[in-house]
Amino acid sequence: MLSIEKKDQTKIYTGTRTLKENLQLFVDFRELLLTWTAREIKGRYRQSALGFGWAFIQPVVQIVVISIVFGRFMQVPSDGVPYPIFTFVAILPWSFFAGAVSAAIPSLLGSMDLITKIYFPREFIPLAAIVARLVDLLIASLVLVSLMIYYRIPFYPTLIFVPLLLVIQIMLSIGIGLIGSAVSVFLRDISFAIPLVMQIWMYATPVIYPISVIPEQWRTLYSLNPMVGIIDSYRRVVLLGQLPDGLSLGISAAFSVVLFVFAYVYFKRLELFMADIV
């Protein structure tokens, strides 16, 4: 239990904390989110000559290579939409997801110097790693908008779904990021597994291919992957002007919310012992 009375700042430690106390701490330290995110962004591009240019270059090069290999040579179907933009609308949120998770998971381990010397709610570290990736997403979105104009894709009214999709996706990233970062303090194997898991996960998600290539009878099972509903929905609302598929997005949303809540509670439990690991 830890309670902070605003007036005289009395803290009581008994070795456990209630959800209410944890949320209160989060509010008390809220400015840290900004501080950490800012340092996360600055730190990433600090010693690079191109700086934020990399946030452009990476997706552009990716789209060119993938379009040539999969679109031109392998003739991967793309539901009647030009392949480059068909893939890009998926690569964009996928890169954000993969980048956020890959940055969040080792973030606590990288801050052990702080964790063992000073107290603050630890969730700010992985959270900041995730929020900082939003900047990249924003920059890369400009590339998407340019592509849409180039391919004369209209701005469908279904675009209003994008913020919802983003929220679901961020909750999923936070859920995975919180659990992964906390567990990896105790079990470093997690960090080694990230690149591998992310690669497999991408192939299990309709990023470089349309969902239509998956046989009908496997579709439901396939949709249990929470990223399927999210990526497919982006494609529908941005490129095709269709509503998201209720079932698969519903699965994604439910999974993300449940994971998010569980992850927070679990993270805050492990947080009590993080500094005890040497």
- Distance, in Å, from the CA atom of 275 to the CA atom of 278, rounded to the nearest integer, reads 8
Instruction: Tell the smallest beta-carbon distance from residue 115 to another protein (Å).
Output: 8
Q: Show Cβ contacts of residue 230 under 8 Å, excluding neighbours closer than 6 positions.
A: 93, 165, 168, 169, 172, 249, 252
Question: Stretches 78-86, 136-144, 226-234, 267-275: which one binds another protein (CB under 8 A)?
Answer: 267-275
Question: Stretches 24-32, 89-97, 157-165, 221-229: which one binds another protein (CB under 8 A)?
Answer: 24-32
Residues 75-134 that bind another protein (CB under 8 A): 111, 113-120
- Judged by CB under 8 A, the residue of 151, 203, 262, 273 near another protein is 273
Report if residue 19 touches another protein, rule: CB under 8 A: no
- Judged by CB under 8 A, the residue of 152, 154, 216, 276 near another protein is 276
- Judged by CB under 8 A, the residue of 60, 134, 166, 275 near another protein is 275
Instruction: Tell the smallest beta-carbon distance from residue 272 to another protein (Å).
Output: 5
Question: Stretches 32-40, 76-84, 195-203, 243-251: which one binds another protein (CB under 8 A)?
Answer: 32-40
* In contact, 141 and 96? CB cutoff 8 Å: no
Query: How many C-beta atoms lie closer than 10 Å to residue 61's C-beta?
Result: 10
Query: How many C-beta atoms lie closer than 10 Å to residue 103's C-beta?
Result: 22
* In contact, 143 and 60? CB cutoff 8 Å: yes
The DSSP result for 140-173, as a single string, is HHHHHHHHHHHTT----GGGGGHHHHHHHHHHHH
Instruction: Tell the smallest beta-carbon distance from residue 123 to another protein (Å).
Output: 14
Instruction: Tell the smallest beta-carbon distance from residue 235 to another protein (Å).
Output: 37
- The two three-digit tokens of residue 246, written as one number: 């209720």
Report if residue 32 touches another protein, rule: CB under 8 A: yes
C-alpha radius of gyration, the chain, whole number? 20
- Interaction mask 175-204, another protein, x per CB under 8 A: --------x--xx-----------------
In 3D, which of 270, 216, 220 has the Cα closest to residue 247? 220
- Judged by CB under 8 A, the residue of 12, 50, 213, 258 near another protein is 12
* In contact, 170 and 94? CB cutoff 8 Å: no
- Distance, in Å, from the CA atom of 26 to the CA atom of 19, rounded to the nearest integer, reads 11
Report if residue 270 touches another protein, rule: CB under 8 A: yes
Instruction: Give the Cα-Cα-Cα angle 240, 150, 204 (nearest 5 degrees).
Output: 45
The stretches of 70-188 forming alpha helices (DSSP H) are 83-104, 112-115, 124-150, 162-186
Question: Stretches 13-21, 58-66, 213-221, 242-250: which one binds another protein (CB under 8 A)?
Answer: 13-21
Instruction: Tell the smallest beta-carbon distance from residue 14 to another protein (Å).
Output: 5
Instruction: Tell the smallest beta-carbon distance from residue 178 to another protein (Å).
Output: 13
Residues binding another protein (CB under 8 A):
2, 8-16, 28-29, 31-32, 35, 39, 43, 111, 113-120, 183, 186-187, 269-270, 272-273, 275-277
